[in-house]
Structure 1
Amino acid sequence: MKSLFGNAALVLSIILILSCAGKEHRKPSGGLEVIDDLGNPVLIDSIPRRIISLAPNLTEIIFDLGAGDKLAGNTLYCNYPPEARYVEKVGDLLTVDFEKVLSLKPDLIFITVEGNRKETFDKFKSLGLKVFVSNPRNYEGVKKSYLGIARILGKEKYALEKIEMWDRLLDSIRNKSRGEKPKTAMLPVELKPLMLAGKNTFLNEYLEFCGLVNIADDPLINYPVFNREEILVRNPDYIIILSDGKLKTEDLLDLYPEWKDLKAVRNGNVIFADRDLYSRPGPRFAEAAADLFNLLHPEESLRYPER
Structure 2
Amino acid sequence: MKEEKLKSLLLLSLLSFNLYAQTVVSTSPALSEIISILGFEKNIIARTPYCLDAKKAPKVGTALELDIEKVLSLKPDLVVLQENTESKTSINLKKLNIKYKSLKLVSLDDIYQATSELASIFGVDGRDVLNKYKTSGQSKYKKGLVMLGGIPGKSVMIAGTETFYSQIIEQLGMKNLSPSKNWPNLQAEKIRSLIDKDTVILEVVTKKEALWSQSNWQSFCPKCHVVPLVSKRAAYPGLKVIEIMSNVLSKGSGHD
Indicate whether the TM-score tops 0.5.
yes
- 1:206-225 to 2 correspondence within 5 Å? 206-219=168-181, 222-225=182-185
**1:125 matched residue in structure 2:** 94
Please state how far the C-alpha of 1:136 moved relative to its aligned partner: 3.0
How many residue pairs are counted as aligned between the two chains?
Answer: 234
> Which residue matches 1:246?
209
| Partner SS for 1:272 | strand
Partners of 2:31 and 2:215 lie apart in 1 by 32
Residues 148-167 of structure 1: per-residue CA shift (max 9 Å, x gap)? 001011112xx112223333
Q: Which consecutive unaligned segments of at least 5 residues does structure 1 have?
A: 1-30, 33-43, 299-307
CA contact (8 A) 1:209 1:289 kept: no
2:22 maps to 49
* TM-score computed with the length of structure 1 as normaliser: 0.66
- Partners of 2:156 and 2:187 within 8 A in 1: yes
Match runs of 1:1-307 below 5 Å = 46-80=19-53, 84-92=54-62, 94-114=64-84, 116-156=85-125, 159-167=126-134, 169-170=135-136, 172-173=137-138, 182-183=142-143, 185-192=144-151, 194-219=156-181, 222-227=182-187, 229-235=189-195, 237-243=199-205, 244-250=207-213, 253=216, 258-261=219-222, 263-264=223-224, 269-296=225-252
Q: Which runs of 5+ in 2 are unaligned?
A: 1-14
Q: Which amino acid aligns with 1:59?
A: S
Return the offset for 1:245. 2.2
Paired AA for residue 173 in structure 1: Q
Give the Å deviation of 1:215. 2.8
How far apart are residue 286 of structure 1 and its match?
A: 4.0
Q: CA deviation at 1:112?
A: 0.8
Is contact 1:203–1:279 with CA below 8 Å preserved after alignment? no
Q: Deviations over 1:17-52 (max 9, x none)?
A: xxxxxxxxxxxxxx99xxxxxxxxxxx962122211
Q: Which residue of 2 aligns with 1:7?
A: none
Structure 1 90/238 Cα, relative in aligned 2: closer, same or farther at 3 Å? same
Q: Which has the higher helix share?
A: 2
Secondary structure of residue in 2 paired with 1:242:
strand
Distance in 2 between the 1:108 and 1:251 partners?
48
**Corresponding letter in the other structure for 1:212:** M
Q: Helix, strand or coil: the match of 2:45?
A: strand
Larger radius of gyration: 2
Distance in 2 (CA, whole Å) between partners of 1:195 and 1:297 is 20
> Would the alpha carbon gap of residues 47 and 296 (structure 1) be closer, same or farther in structure 2, given more than 3 Å must change?
same
How big is the shift at 1:228? 5.1
CA contact (8 A) 1:271 1:295 kept: no
- Structure 2 distance, partners of 1:89, 1:273, is 28
Structure 1 residues 128 and 223: CA distance shift in structure 2, 3 A:
farther
Q: What is residue 3 of structure 1 aligned with on the other side? A: none
Question: Within 1, Cα distance between the matches of 2:99 and 2:63?
Answer: 18
- The Cα RMSD (Å) is 3.0
CA contact (8 A) 2:148 2:158 kept: yes
Output the amino acid matched with 2:89. T
State the alpha-carbon separation in 2 of the partners of residues 163 and 148 from structure 1: 12
Instruction: Tell me if structure 2 keeps the 8 A contact 1:50–1:71.
Output: yes
